[in-house]
Structure 1
């Protein structure tokens, strides 16, 4: 995906298209394949979301 867009697989098996939140982008936090992340989904479009935290 281009730039800071990621395809994230949720625990229930659904895939969501996500972008990085502001602080993750500002501090250049790298997201790698296999990282567990916390996602906020939009109430208007449940197929899009925002990555707000990168777990270990």
Structure 2
């Protein structure tokens, strides 16, 4: 079962992977969803995002506007 949780990008990693600190103070590694890749959404350190979590990995599915 997957959960959608908000978090903040803390570090960029190779191959479109990001280290994300969730609101629950856990850190996970997340990749970018296909929808965001196709729309060429820019993700930077400090961006607030919505992550679909699976155990200790996740997928970024939404970027909040500032």
Query: Same fold per TM (> 0.5)?
Result: yes
1:54 aligns with 2:63: yes
Matches within 5 A, 1:16-31: 16-31=28-43
TM-score (norm 2): 0.76
Superposition CA RMSD, Å: 0.7
TM-score (norm 1): 0.88
Runs of 4 or more, structure 1, over 4 Å off, are: none
Kindly state the Cα deviation for residue 3 of structure 1 after the two structures are TM-superposed.
2.5
- Point out the structure with the larger strand share: 2
Number of aligned residue pairs: give it.
Answer: 53
1:11 aligns with 2:60: no
The CA distance in 2 between the partners of 1:55 and 1:18, in whole Å, is 16
